[in-house]
Chains A and B, each alone.
Chain A
Amino acid sequence: MAESKELKVKEKQELAVKAEQTTPGPTFTPDVDIFETEKAITLLADVPGVKAKSLNIDLRDNTLTIIGDVDPCENADEEDILIEYETGRFYRQFTLSEVIDQNRIEAKLQDGVLRLTLPKVEKATPRKIAIQTA
């Protein structure tokens, strides 16, 4: 890899079109990496502050929904001096085109990054087709 670049500030992306919400506070879209190999689709999402118990991953009808709730980490007696970012719920939805083997989905949450491995159903993995010559 080449010389690593400077990290630029990226403001947290607030969800633009909001559905009617039942919880107060802002909702953000987490940054994600999605990549695909022959066997699986892997999704990495930055969800700082989300604990495993407040993370909700749902897959139905090819729609993958990730919802992560963040508890405010400030104590009640703290007074704000400088607030550059807000915390709130993370929400993002994806439509998956491949057929996913729902029983083998793996989710791992470490250091505020969710790693979701979605294995493809056997029949969806490409197979090399041998060409017979007469």
Chain B
Amino acid sequence: MIYRRLPGFPGWFARSPFAELERMRRQMDRLFEDWMTPRPVSGVFPLINLTETQENYYLRAELPGMTASDLDIQATANSVSISGERKIPAENHNARYHRREREAGKFSRVVGLPGEINPDKVEARLENGILTVVVPKAEASKPRQITVK
């Protein structure tokens, strides 16, 4: 049997007096989860911030200690892949370590972009350990001002 579950429908509320409370509790839970859980993290190195303007997407990642030659960036019609290897040069072999928190290793990440891009005009910069990839949007996916006649 199918019930019409309209929140304002009096018969529905009367049928289950706790349903409304239950719904409220679920909403509160969701609200708390949003606060408590951190931002969505894909779990793939490096962490990325993606922003957009009308013309471009901007993709940024923190890659301290890396040089341009350690990085490989490729673009397709709607994604950008970043891969490379972070190397930490070996120090004097007599050195005794007190702390060793910085990590070296390989990584590879593909970032899907919300719209079509122009893969030929992608530019990347590495400054002070921050990688910035400027990804121009394809003509078709740029917002267009439409004049009303």
Instruction: List chain A positions with a Cβ less than 8 A from chain B.
Output: 1, 4-12, 31-38, 42, 44, 46-51, 73-75, 77-85, 111-113
Contacts and interface: CB of A to CB of B under 8 A. Distances in A.
Given A81-B50, A82-B40, A46 B98 contact: no
A114 B41 CA distance: 27
B17 interface: no
- Please give me the 7 A-B residue pairs with the lowest Cβ-Cβ distance, nearest first: A112-B129, A112-B64, A48-B129, A7-B105, A78-B51, A35-B95, A48-B62
Contact of A35 (B51, B85, B91): B91
B149 to A, nearest CB: 29
A47 B106 contact: no
Nearest to A50: B128
Contact of B51 (A33, A46, A74, A85): A74
A36 B68 CA distance: 30
A79 B49 contact: no
B18 interface: no
B105 A111 contact: no
A78 B46 CA distance: 21
B86 A7 contact: yes
B41 A48 contact: no
A113 B65 contact: yes
B102 interface: yes
B102 A44 contact: yes
A35 B96 contact: yes
8 contacts: A1-B90, A9-B41, A9-B46, A33-B88, A79-B53, A85-B48, A85-B49, A111-B67
Given A9-B47, A73-B132, A75-B53, 5 more contacts: A35-B95, A73-B60, A74-B49, A111-B129, A112-B128
Contact of B130 (A1, A8, A49, A78): A49
Given A42-B91, A84-B49, A6 B107 contact: yes
Contacts of A85: 47-49, 62
B49 A34 contact: no
B7 interface: no
A50 B85 CA distance: 22
Given A7-B103, A32-B102, A37-B95, A112 B48 contact: no
Most buried by A among B51, B53, B64: B64
Interface in B94-137: 94-107, 114, 126, 128-130, 132
